[in-house]
Structure 1
Amino acid sequence: MSGPAAELPPAPATPATPEVVDQVAIARLYGEPLFALPQDLYIPPDALEVFLEAFEGPLDLLLYLIRRQNFNILDIPMAEVTRQYLGYVEQVRARNLELAAEYLLMAAMLIEIKSRMLLPPKPAPDGGEAPDPRAELVRRLLEYERIKLAAQQLDALPQQGRDFWRAQVHIEQSLSPRWPDVCVDDLRAAWHDILRRARLVQRHTITREALSVRESMSGVLRALQGRRFVEFGELFDPARGVAVAVVTFIAVLELAKEHLIELTQAEAYAPIYVRLAYTPS
């Protein structure tokens, strides 16, 4: 058909939101699905970072790679472990160069161990078997794993502030305290305790009494003058104390030694008598 009537109808306008059936919307903007990022949208490089696995250091990462694939830690496949380790280090270095420095040091150590395993082993000085280049790395991994397991066990213990709270009870007290009454028995017991302690610390004052044996000798002679016999006990005065009695006894012995007095008795166990051994003029 020719002519103006044969012109085709105009094409329908393209909708603003494409009708996508087999694609999942990445976001929703004001309730409308968004299947592609806007061309003028600016997202800072560090706006969003997702860490699938967080490690506390190179040994933690290395132990994770070994345990995840069930490698024998005493016989580590260095080629496979080194490849996986370097892949993670590249991701870390792209985000944080300072953090990657510690991991790069371990990567250099893994490459060195791998190269030493490719070279012929050097014979030991004593003629024995050459040491395994992986021995030091295995020792560090086993020691780190023990410490990590111990830390997990400690973290599993109940902790104050995380798993439980300490109970606190506030007791209100009256402003004017009420003191208990004191009974007579308690007062008497307190007084007896004071007396007991006072006796423990009491002091004795010792005075020196001037006693003379010569004066006691003269007193004994005066007591015997004018008397024929005097009973031995009459020469002592118990009221004056033990010291005076001792000095008087010594005086009697001195007088008997100088033959100024005589000690006599009628028979055995009879009373003792004292008399002058001379007749005074």
Structure 2
Amino acid sequence: MADQAEALREIMQGNSQLANSKTRIITVASGKGGVGKTNISTNLAIAYGKLGKRVVLMDADLGLANVNVVLGIIPKYNLYHLIRKQKTMKDILMDTQYGIQLVAGASGFSKLANLSEEERNNFIKELTELSSADVIIIDASAGVNNNVLSFIAAADDAIIVTTPEPTAITDAYGIIKIIATEIDNLGLSLKLIVNRVSSVTEGKKVAERVTNIASQFLNLKVDYLGYVFEDTAVRDAVKKQKPFSILEPRSKASACVQQLVSRLEKIEYREGGGLGNFLKKLFSR
């Protein structure tokens, strides 16, 4: 770990852009699969892109990567090729027709924790190539594992996606509880999105339930970022392998995502953020 820290210091000393980076890192996670996490991640990235931001969407589901499916893209290379030093970040970073860049995930790859020290140092070095991005959105695996916790702990903002279904609410609380016990909360901003709501009131009720329990029993502040309406446009977009904010930009779901990004944009940059600090924290757990 000391060698890794030294390697990162050397990289940052030789890269003023990285050292001064104010890239915003947002990790999107969920307590269970099937709540629309990847759809939210993808369309948040596109909404940021529409604001003129330089956006990188990283599929960090190292087991069942599928961001490229939502985008309707077949990547030639992915994180597996980068981690195994077969390709560089410049090789795997894909421009898309949606105004964002994609780092495709590595299906079948298991744990960041299993990387050798050489692979970790190379992974960190290659991630520095993203220092020119304004926003990096990381779509983490569904559920809880060490990879997810690492990406949450290192991010400026971590967003938990849930739905009004009782099992989804229970699992959202479950991942928040693990975050509270496993991660040293060094300025982490934890937020909640309630997806597939039938009304504004339903979203608020679910959020109040989760945030109140987190505050009362975990002494953890979780901010309610907002909701996304249940919308047939989302299902249609999934079938057509197009982001719903592109296929149906005037849909209820698209308007909700734009509102979520507007709220995120109002949150000021905090010192201790940026890509350099993300890389410092990524393997420090």
> Which of the five TM-score ranges fits, normalised by the shorter chain?
under 0.3
> TM-score, length-normalised on structure 1?
0.18
Task: Report 1 or 2 for greater relative contact order, CA contacts < 8 Å, sequence distance ≥ 6.
Answer: 2
- Bigger fraction of residues in helix: 2
Which of these two proteins has the greater Rg computed from alpha carbons?
1
> TM-score, length-normalised on structure 2?
0.18
